Amino acid sequence: MEATNGGNRVLILGGSFAGLYCTQVLHDTAKKAGTPMPDITLIDRNNFVLFTAFLPEMMSNQLNPLSIVPAIRRVVGGRNIAFHQTEILDIDLSNKRVTTGKSVFEADTLVLALGAVTNYFGNESFEKYGFPFKTMAHGLRLRNHIIDCLERADRSKDEAERRRLLTFIQAGAGACGLEVMTELREFLHLTCGKAYRNINFHRDVQLILAEGLPRVLSGMPEACALAACEKMQRRHIDVRLSTFVTGAAPAGWNWMGRTGSRPTRSSGSLASKPTR
Ligand SMILES: Cc1cc2nc3c(=O)[nH]c(=O)nc-3n(C[C@H](O)[C@H](O)[C@H](O)COP(=O)(O)OP(=O)(O)OC[C@H]3O[C@@H](n4cnc5c(N)ncnc54)[C@H](O)[C@@H]3O)c2cc1C
């Protein structure tokens, strides 16, 4: 059991945006006010915080993976905060007791900042065959998959096979979906015909952005959505509105749910909507 300290122990679970911000504000506010400093402990399975906003750029090779994961200890800086890198296994809310891979922690105040899980909207095939996009491991997996498709397409003499390998479908046109698609487009546009000399971007690559709603960027003003749509269409991204991706399968088939639309064969659907 970890040491205790007179009724003022704060245990913060999760050292990403919410947990780190809470840690800093608690500490800095007490320091500024000159009130007793709480005994703050921060726990995360990782010793880094992932700047998710740059994950699409990491996937498209614009950014080095290490440049988007500052160390938690560095962000905490000189503040008097105990950090433990360990997996949280159980949370006993009524007793404010947390079991981790390292030891058991007790607290007077518990802060839960453990994030959210990817929402597959109950569709098991997305979970099985799609590419989620929330963690560094997801970003690297998708990047490796795209590069593998490029390598195979570059070697292939079969035009249909090349096109299948280079067809990518993004389900969901929120801010994250747009970022992923546009970064992917830039990456493919930069490399096809150059690093991959047998691939012609306009002839072989198909990028489909499917959105169930009648517009993209549903949380933003209409004018932004229209401008984004036009820009994407100009950049060879096929935006399909009012179109639901209803399933994914091992051979890389994806179905567009809208009546009359044809199944599209692809190398894999990209991210399902990450929870923001
Ligand atoms: C690709 C992408 C791009 C985004 N772009 C933007 C953007 O531009 N602007 C914006 O405002 N938001 C953006 N977001 C959303 C933003 O990343 C989230 O809102 C934010 O990460 C939520 O922070 P959080 O601290 O609540 O949770 P998270 O960031 O999910 O952090 C949860 C933390 O808990 C830890 N954890 C979870 N379970 C355990 C366990 N059992 N044991 C130990 N540790 C555990 C995890 O390691 C993690 O560090 C984006 C998200 C994605 C996926």
pLDDT (tens digit per residue) in 147-172: 999 999 999 999 999 998 999 888 88
| Ligand 1, atom nearest to 88 Cα | 42
pLDDT of residue 11: 98
216 DSSP assignment: S
Q: Which atom of ligand 1 is nearest to the CA of 271?
A: 1
Q: What is the pLDDT of residues 104-146, one digit of tens each?
A: 999 999 999 999 988 888 888 888 888 888 999 999 999 999 9
Sheet of strand 253-256, all strands in order from the earlier edge strand to the far edge: 245-248, 253-256, 264-265
Query: What's residue 251's pLDDT?
Result: 60
Residues 6+ apart with CB under 8 A from 260: none
pLDDT at 260: 30
Question: What's the pLDDT at 209?
Answer: 92
Mean residue pLDDT across the chain? 88
Region 84-94 average pLDDT: 98
Q: Which two tokens stand for residue 218?
A: 């549903």
pLDDT digits (tens, 9 = 90+) for 192-210: 999 999 999 999 999 999 9
Is the confidence at residue 181, as pLDDT, over 80?
yes
113 touches ligand 1 (CB under 6 Å): yes
pLDDT at residue number 193: 96
Q: Which of 16, 21, 104 to mutate to test the pocket of ligand 1 (most atoms within 8 A of CB)?
A: 16
Place of tokens 């990403």: 16
pLDDT of res. 98: 98
CA atoms within 13 A on the CB side of 162: 19
Average pLDDT, integer, range 215-222: 94
Q: How many CB atoms lie within 10 A of CB 141?
A: 15
Rounded to whole angstroms, the Cα distance separating 10 from 49 reads 20
Across 30-34, 43-47, 124-128, 272-276, least confident range: 272-276
Q: Give the chain's domains with CATH numbers.
A: 9-112 (3.50.50.60), 124-269 (3.50.50.100)
Nearest to 42 by CA among 71, 18, 15: 15
Amino acid in position 17: F
Expressed in angstroms and rounded, the spacing between residue 161 Cα and the centre of ligand 1 is 37
Report which of 150, 163, 142, 174 is spatially closest to residue 264, judged by C-alpha positions.
163
Ligand 1 atom closest to the CA of 89, numbered from 1: 41
Instruction: Confirm if 34 and 47 have CB atoms less than 8 A apart.
Output: no
Residue with tokens 């984004």: 228
The C-alpha atoms of residue 15 and residue 250 are separated, in whole angstroms, by 35
Q: What is the pLDDT of residue 132?
A: 86
Query: What's the pLDDT score for residue 244?
Result: 83
Q: How far apart are CA 270 and CA 142, in angstroms?
A: 8
Report whether pLDDT(4) > 50.
no
Q: Which of 75, 72, 96, 76 is nearest to 86 (CA)?
A: 72
188-200 burial, b for 16+ CB within 10 Å, e for fewer? bbebbbeebeebe
Alpha-carbon distance of 164 to 270, in angstroms, equals: 14
Cα 65–chain centre separation: 13
pLDDT for 257 equals: 38
**Residue 176 CB–ligand 1 contact under 6 Å:** yes
pLDDT for the residue numbered 68: 98
Is 239's pLDDT higher than 90? yes
Q: What per-residue confidence (pLDDT) applies to 270? A: 52
pLDDT at 194: 96
Q: Helix, strand, or coil here: 208?
A: strand
Q: Which of 231, 49, 62 has the alpha carbon at shortest distance from 136?
A: 49
Overall average pLDDT of the 88-114 stretch: 97
User: Does residue 19 line the site of ligand 1, with CB under 6 A?
Assistant: yes
Q: Are 245 and 254 in contact (CB under 8 A)?
A: yes
pLDDT score for 213 = 92
Per the DSSP assignment, residues forming a β-bridge with 190 are none
- pLDDT value, residue 107: 97
> What is the reported pLDDT for 261?
34
**Tens digit of each residue's pLDDT (9 = 90 or more) over 55-81:** 999 999 999 999 999 999 999 999 999
Amino acid 264: pLDDT? 42
The string of DSSP codes covering 121-184 is TT-HHHHHHS---SSHHHHHHHHHHHHHHHHHHHH---HHHHHHHTEEEEE--SHHHHHHHHHH
- Ligand 1 in contact with 52 (CB < 6 A)? yes
C-alpha of residue 17 to centroid of ligand 1, in Å? 7
pLDDT for 54 beyond 50: yes
Average pLDDT (3-11) is: 71
